[in-house]
Amino acid sequence: MGIAIAECLAENGALVDLVLGPSSLEPKHPNISLTRVRSAQEMYEASMALFDQADIAVLSAAVADYRPAKPSAEKIKKDKADLHIDLEPTPDIAATLGARKKPGQVLAGFALETENELENAGKKRQKKNFDFIVLNSLRDPGAGFHHDTNKITLVHSDNKTEEFELKSKRAAAEDIVAALIRYLERARP
């Protein structure tokens, strides 16, 4: 989904900095500058470095909320009957960028909810200071991860919603980019 949004933005004239986690996919548009990352920490650092000069930021990655507190450099053998792994929180990229957002910047995020979907997405939008949030559906066949299609609902800053039918990720990206452009036009004096 992130690559589809980056390509759609680039086709609309944007110079795009794409921070991409592990993926076999590759963006093709020449207006996209790619930074590959492997961890939530690397994604945090790359996002912090790019955000201040961005007009628009779209946070579409499903970043892990926790990581092992003490990663092992060696293979952990099965001979331990009672293995416990302590976890620590990863940096909250969305909350940090939301707190740093300046007037004129547009910030959009994603939410994957399985219960009280609209309510939880609205709370996340407000908490993270997003202009709007893209709610992904897992309830509909062909939507969510591991598909070339998606079914999204945009939850706007006034808590109004815009629901779209199941469509290709590319077509969903066009809907998201259209909303980004509307917000950017309103944010600019």
96-121 as b/e: b if 16+ CB within 10 A:
ebbeebeeebbbbbbbebeeebeebb
Q: Give the Cα separation of 108 and 119 in Å (integer).
A: 17
Q: Give the Cα separation of 119 and 94 in Å (integer).
A: 18
pLDDT category at 80 given cuts 50, 70, 90 is low
Residues 6+ apart with CB under 8 A from 189: 104
pLDDT on residue 189: 67
Could you tell me the domains of the chain?
2-65+88-187 (3.40.50.10300)
pLDDT on residue 142: 72
For the chain, the average pLDDT equals 92
For residue range 91-136, what is the model confidence (pLDDT) as tens digits?
Answer: 999 999 999 999 999 999 999 888 899 999 999 999 999 999 999 8
pLDDT category at 187 given cuts 50, 70, 90 is confident
| Contact (CB, 8 A) for 50 and 101 | no
pLDDT on residue 82: 82
Query: Which has more confidence, 157 or 18?
Result: 18
Mean pLDDT over residues 24-34, rounded?
94
Give the torsion sign (CA, 130, 187, 14, 166). positive
